[in-house]
Amino acid sequence: MMSLASAALLLGGGPAATSQNRGQVTQAERGYFVEQNRTANWYFDQQSKVVNAVKAVKPGRKGVIEAFVVVAGIDADPVFGREASATAKVLTRRFRAQGRTITLSAGNGAGKQANAHGSPANLWAVLAGVASKMNRDEDVLILYTTSHGGKKVGLIYKDGQSGFGMIAPNHMQRMLKGLGIKRKLVMISACYSGEFIPALLNDDSVIITAASSIKTSFGCNPGNDWTFFGDALINQSMREGLPLVATKNAAFRKISEWELGNGLTPSEPQYYAGADSKKWLSALENRMPRARTKPVGTPAIAVLKKPMPAKQP
């Protein structure tokens, strides 16, 4: 089993975050995570928040294709909490998921919300609860995660010095398959997130990732309100009331412009749509609000556009 020291090194960043050994990848595939130095009240509070959030979710209506939204800030860095909170509002409005949305996030960015943390355990419990409220042959899971990412190990869970973990692509696939969730739109904001596409794709799914399997994405500075991917896709393009393909195209153009304009290596965001996804996507988009809404927060590229201080002679 991976030691806590190894996990801390891996999840804290640095060379280990992009070049894992085989043992670390194996642990990620098995869904490795650990909580330490937590109180009994903390565990009880987390369980209570998850149970209450699921209880509040309205069940699907037979014969109506409903969207069920789950948004998770997996890492506790403030940018991910802020992005998760704002993203949940945009997705709830776009897919008319009022009463069918759950947000998970922790850290300063989560603000005063009474959300459970975006830990692997909470994410799986919430997804299981949501699946129990869905008509799984017709309803759609809308899943958005935002966090750091590592090559081969997938999404990285880190909550200060207390929570560590990884969500590998194949592990996420097994969890979703085990819940019987067929129709899904999965959006992943993380470095190397393109690794999730081979694991999650099928004819009933749409997958959008912030980067290819070999590229980093940008904007995860703790002081940011948005990552590049979240700002371009959610905060700007999804507010336009356009179909998903046009929304995705506009977002990818923005990201490319921001990266090239600031001398960054292209992240190469990815998109996959299964052949049967048009059936449910059309139904959801026919009910989508058409009126535009205004972006919120500071643009993700604002920090890059600040003038550099003049060099002292």
Q: DSSP assignment of 69-88, as one string?
A: EEEEE-S-SHHHHHHHHHHH
What is the structure's pLDDT at 71? 98
What is the structure's pLDDT at 41? 97
What is the structure's pLDDT at 29? 86
- 73 contacts: CB under 8 Å, gap ≥ 6: 80, 81, 83, 84, 85, 104, 105, 106, 107, 109, 110, 118, 145, 146, 147
Q: What is the mean pLDDT of the chain?
A: 89
Domains of the chain in sequence order? 26-288 (3.40.50.1460)
SS3 51: helix
Q: Among 194, 231, 217, 198, which Cα is nearest to 87's?
A: 231
pLDDT in tens, 175-190: 999 999 999 999 999 9
What is the structure's pLDDT at 112? 67
For residue 310, pLDDT beyond 90: no
pLDDT in tens, 125-169: 999 999 999 999 999 999 999 999 999 999 999 999 999 999 999
What is the structure's pLDDT at 9? 33
For residue 30, pLDDT beyond 50: yes
pLDDT in tens, 54-105: 999 999 999 999 999 999 999 999 999 999 999 999 999 999 999 999 999 9
Query: Using CA atoms, how far apart are residues 149 and 188, in angstroms rounded to an integer?
Result: 10
- 169 contacts: CB under 8 Å, gap ≥ 6: 154, 195, 196, 198, 199, 200
For residue 256, pLDDT beyond 80: yes
State the average pLDDT over residues 197-224.
95
